[in-house]
Amino acid sequence: MRIADVAVVGGGLGGVAAALAAAEAGCTVVLTCDQEVLGGQVTTQLVPALDEHPHVEEGGVSASYRRLRELIRAQYGGVANPGGGWVSRLCFEPAAAKAALDRMLAPHVASGRLTVLTGTAPGSARVHAGTLESVTLSTGETVSAEVFCDATELGDLLPLAGAPWTVGSEGRDAYGEELALDGGPRPSAVQSCTTGFLVEHLPGEDHTVERPPGYERWRVRQPFTLEIAGWDGRVHRYRMFEQGPDGHPPFWTYRRLREGAVLGGRDLALINWVGNDYADRSLVDEPELAAAESRLLSLAFLHWLQTEAGFPGLRLVTEAPVTFGGLAVHPYVRESRRLAVPRPVTEHDLRPRPGRARAAAMPDSVGVAWYHMDVHPRVGHPRSHYAPSAPFQIPLSALVAPEPGNLLAAAKNLGATQAAAAAYRVHHGEWAVGEAAGALAAHCVRRSVPPSRVAADRRELSALQAALVARGVPIAWALDVPVDDPLFGAVQLLAAAGAVRQDTLEIGPGAALTDGDRAALRAAAHRLTGANVPAPAFDGAATWGEACLALARAAGLVREEDR
C-alpha cells in the first residue's frame, strides 16, 4: 500500500498542479495517471495550443502556471509562439509540454515527497464513517491518504467514493440559464469530445488514408467543411493555405504547433475543428466506444481533407511523440462528471455586469480564470452555444465534496453547472482549480482540519488564502499588481475581501487615499480577520497601495518577508 498525506488521482493539468502545490507545501504526495504521460490537455489529449484569456502575459494566472509557459518557450530558445498558431499566444508540440511538466515535478520526485504512478486508473474506493480511506488502482495497488483530490479527466473518483455528482445539462428549469437545455435535467446531453491529429504537408505527394467506416454519414452530418458558423451569426469561410474570402487567416495556421520557417524543418499542424468534433456518444457514459468512434471520425475528416478538399499531400505524422500514430492518445475532454454542491457556480455568476469589469465577487475565492462559456454540441443536441463572461474567480465551495469529507475536486469536475464549467475547463482554468485543491489539501493536513471546516471558518479560509497568495496565486483580478510586486499579497487578500475598485481590472495602488478607501479597506480586513484594525494602521499612508500594505501587516495578513 502507498501511504501519503495527499493522494491526487488523475494526471492532467489539474492533477499536476494539485500535486505540485501539495508537495511544495511539504506534504508527501502520490500522483496517479491513467495514461503513461502526464499532462492531459497538453500531451495525450493533443491540445497544446493554450486556450487563455487576453491578459495572460501580464496577469490573471499563477506563478506556477507562468513557469510552465516559460519552460515550454525555453525549449524553443525563447520563441514566444513556436507554432505561430493564431488560436493562441502559445502553440507548441506535446513533447515540449511533457518535458516542462516533468522538470517542474522532478525535484519533488527526487526528494521522495512525490511518487508518480502512470498507466493506472482508480478501480474502487474504501469509505468508512464519511471518510475516504483508500483507493485501489487498476494495477491492484492501493493508495491511502488524509486528503484525496479527484483530478481524473471524467471525474471517475466521484462515483467510486460515493460523492454526489452530476453530468450533462441541468436544464433551464434548475437555474434559468440561457445555455441550459429547455426543461429539466438531461444527464445524457454531455458535450462533444475531439480526437485531434497532427499533419504535415508534402506538396506533390499522396498520403491519403483509407476511407474509414461511417465516412459518408459523417461527411454530411458534421458536416465536413472549412466554413464555420461564428458566434457573431455569420458564416466564417476559411481556405487551407491562404487568406479566406472574408479575410480570415489560413486554416493551416489555426492550430499550427511548429512553424518551420522560424524553427527550421517542417510545419506541424494540429487538426481540431468542427469537422472532427464528436458528439454521437457520451465519453462519460460510453468511454471506450466514444473514444473509438471519435478516432474514426478524425480519420474520416482527414480523408476528406486529402480527397474532396484536394490536399493529398497532408501526411499523418505517425512518428510524432506523445501521440498514437499521429492521433491523440485520448480524446480531448470538454465535460466531466461534476461535483454536486449545495450552491454550484452558474452561468449567472460568470456573466458580465453593467459597469463592472469583473464577474460577481466570490469571497471564498481560491483562484482566478477567464474564458467565455463555450458549450460545444451535446449528445442529441448538435448546436453549439456561446455566452460571454467577465473575469471570474474560483470559489472554495466548488471544490469541497459534501461527502466523503476529505475529497476535493481538482480539475474540470468542480461544482459548477454545465454552462459555467465550460468556462473553467480550459488550460489555465483547470490548472488553477488543481492548484487550489492541492493547496487546500496541504492546508488541511498541516492544520489537521477537514476541508468543510476551511469552507465554514473565516479564519481558516483567510489562512488558506494567505498561503495561496504567498505562492503567487491570484485570488482577485488586479492586473497592475504583478506577482513579484511587494504589494501582491496584501492587494490580493483585501481585494478578494471586497476592497477593490470595480470599474477596471486595475487596482490603481498609486492613487491618493480617500476616506472611502479607508472604510473599504478596514471593512475588508474585518471580513478576513473578524477583528477591527485600529485606525493608526493607516498612519503615514498617502496612497491606496501604502494603506493596503500597512493594514494587511497590522492585521497579520502578510509579513515583511512575504511577497
Per residue in 405-453, pLDDT tens? 999 999 999 999 999 999 999 999 999 999 999 999 999 999 999 999 9
Q: Which helix (H) or strand (E) holds 461?
A: helix 458-470
Q: Can you tell me the distance from the alpha carbon of 51 to that of 425, in angstroms, rounded to the nearest whole number?
A: 9
534 against 276, higher pLDDT: 276
Residue predicted with more confidence, 132 or 553: 132
How confident is the model over 174-194, as a mean pLDDT? Answer: 98
What is the DSSP secondary structure assignment for residue 562, as one 8-state letter?
Answer: -
30-42 per-position pLDDT tens digit? 999 999 999 999 9
Instruction: Work out the average pLDDT over 66-72.
Output: 98
**Predicted model pTM:** 0.97
| Buried b or exposed e, range 185-221, using 16+ CB within 10 angstroms | bbebbbbbbbbbbbbbbeeeeebbbeebeebeebbee
How many Å apart are CA 446 and CA 448, to the nearest integer?
Answer: 6
Task: Taking the CA atoms of 247, 264, 258 and 316 in sequence, report the sign of the dihedral they define.
Answer: positive
Category of 525 on φ-ψ map: left (φ > 0), alpha (ψ -120 to 50) or beta:
alpha
pLDDT class of 500 with cuts at 50, 70, 90:
confident
Per-residue pLDDT, averaged over 161-179, amounts to 98
Q: Which residues contact 334 (CB under 8 A, 6 or more apart)?
A: 191, 192, 193, 194, 376, 422, 425
Cα gap 345→360, rounded to integer Å: 11
CA–CA separation, 343 vs 349, rounded Å?
11
Contacts of 20 (CB under 8 A, 6+ apart): 64, 104, 105, 108, 435, 438
Kindly tell me the sign of the dihedral angle through the C-alpha atoms of 379, 377, 150, 141. Answer: positive
For 244, the 3-state DSSP assignment is: coil
Q: Report the chain's mean pLDDT, rounded to a whole number.
A: 95
Least confident of 177-191, 351-365, 370-384, 542-556: 542-556
What integer pLDDT is reported at residue 35 of this predicted model? Answer: 97
pLDDT at position 230 = 75
Cα–Cα dist 347/424, whole Å: 11
Distance CA 178, CA 350 (A): 13
CA distances for 196 relative to 93, 273, 291, angstroms = 13, 8, 12
Largest Cα–Cα separation, the chain? 78
User: In the structure, what pLDDT confidence band is assigned to residue 530 with cuts at 50, 70 and 90?
Assistant: confident
Average pLDDT of span 184-209 = 98
* Per-residue pLDDT, 559: 67
* Parallel/antiparallel/unpaired status of strands 235-237 and 227-229: antiparallel
Q: How confident is the model at residue 538 (pLDDT cuts 50, 70, 90)?
A: confident
- Report the alpha-carbon distance of residue 352 to residue 348 in Å, rounded: 9
Rounded-to-integer distance, Cα 112 and Cα 109, Å: 5
Least confident of 15-29, 160-174, 517-531: 517-531
Task: Give the whole-angstrom CA distance, residue 332 versus residue 374.
Answer: 14
Q: What is the pLDDT of residue 560?
A: 56
> What is the three-class DSSP state of 500?
coil
Q: Which residues, including other chains, have CB under 8 Å from residue 308's CB and lie 6 or more apart?
A: 219, 224
Cell numbers that stand for 361 in this block: 465577487
- Does residue 478 surpass a pLDDT of 80? yes
Examine the pLDDT at 563 and tell me if it is beyond 50.
no
